[in-house]
Amino acid sequence: MKTFDVMGKSRILIGESLKNAEKYISTDNTVIITDHNVRRLYGNLFPNCEVIEIGMGESVKTLDTMNHIYQKLIELGIDRSGFILGIGGGIVCDITGFAASTYLRGIQFGFVSTTLLAQVDASVGGKNGVNVGGYKNMVGTFNQPQFVICDMNLLKTLPPQELSCGFAEIVKHALIADAKMFDYLEINFKEALSLNESVIERLVADSIRIKANIVNQDERESGERRKLNFGHTFGHAVEKTTGVPHGAAVSIGMMMASYLSIRKGFLSKQELKRIECLLLMLKLPTVISTDREKIVDAMKKDKKRTGELIKFVLLDGIGQSLVKEISVTELEEVSCDLCQ
């Protein structure tokens, strides 16, 4: 088992099992939050605690769900010494973190992350929250869980599309911060896709190390943490306009950012080819058939935009990144290469 500490408050346990979760909590004052799928698949391995079950999908990440959880916590008599354990993917983690951070002005919490995306991204870094009025993550807090368990065995039941979302973030971490991890992915992509235990454990550990390192420098996203948005500015616009899964959208977004990096003289065409090949080997798309005007329009509405310029994360070769301001006109020109 590998462990990492985030902000000196949160311990990430990679390779620990859900069935050992009981060791990290006191069962008499812990409440589990999970979703229907995860409970059906793994409920028999849960610690012996009260369970609050939520529905599935982005539409449950709301204040209504939060209200339901607060009511349940009150009914169960949970006081300041209580603990909430979220067992699930990114949605369960975001909801658990927000519920625990606000109930009685904050009680302690932990996660068992059950999707690849939650293990490499959502459960690390202390951001939590819910959607309001159709806008993503509008209300939330920065607050670190006590611990995060990443149990690789749970990944075997994930549908391919959910795995792809995790792989897109894994490639992102390698591209922005670790050229050796990128080489390792190129060599071991088949084992990664088949969830070979040592390969997937190493990729999850490398991803968490990179994200934890960045968050430790900049918890509240004033500088360094922006790099974690690599592929996401264009990616979010693609996701919004086409409805493709997050991983596919981020893959297209990373291609876009790579084209821009070439244009700015930071990346070579040969490096772009390697990035494209790796994404394809991991079954992620590199082009999209859609109306490029719509994507550029969505990007113009990006909340991180200031005037004509958008803050964009670019690659300074594979394994290094930097943030530059890019004009909307330039983005329009580059998007021609991606939209077919």
Residues that bind ligand NAD (CB under 6 A): 35, 37-38, 41, 56, 58, 61, 88-92, 94, 114-115, 117-118, 121-122, 125, 127-128, 137, 154, 157-158, 162, 165
**β partners of residue 12:** 4, 148
**Nearest of 329, 305, 191, 316 to residue 266 by alpha carbon:** 316
From the CB of 333, what's the least distance to ligand NAD, in Å? 30
CB nearer to ligand NAD: pick between 219 and 316: 219
From the CB of 168, what's the least distance to ligand NAD, in Å? 10
Strands 305-306, 130-132: parallel, antiparallel or unpaired by DSSP? unpaired
CB nearer to ligand NAD: pick between 62 and 137: 137
From the CB of 301, what's the least distance to ligand NAD, in Å? 18
From the CB of 42, what's the least distance to ligand NAD, in Å? 7
Distance in angstroms (rounded) separating the CA atoms of residues 147 and 118:
13
From the CB of 267, what's the least distance to ligand NAD, in Å? 25
Kindly give, in sequence order, each residue whose CB lies less than 8 Å from that of residue 151, ignoring residues fewer than 6 positions away: 15, 16, 17, 18, 112, 114
Residue in the shown chain whose Cβ atom is closest to ligand NAD: 90
CB nearer to ligand NAD: pick between 146 and 264: 146
CB nearer to ligand NAD: pick between 58 and 325: 58
CB nearer to ligand NAD: pick between 58 and 333: 58
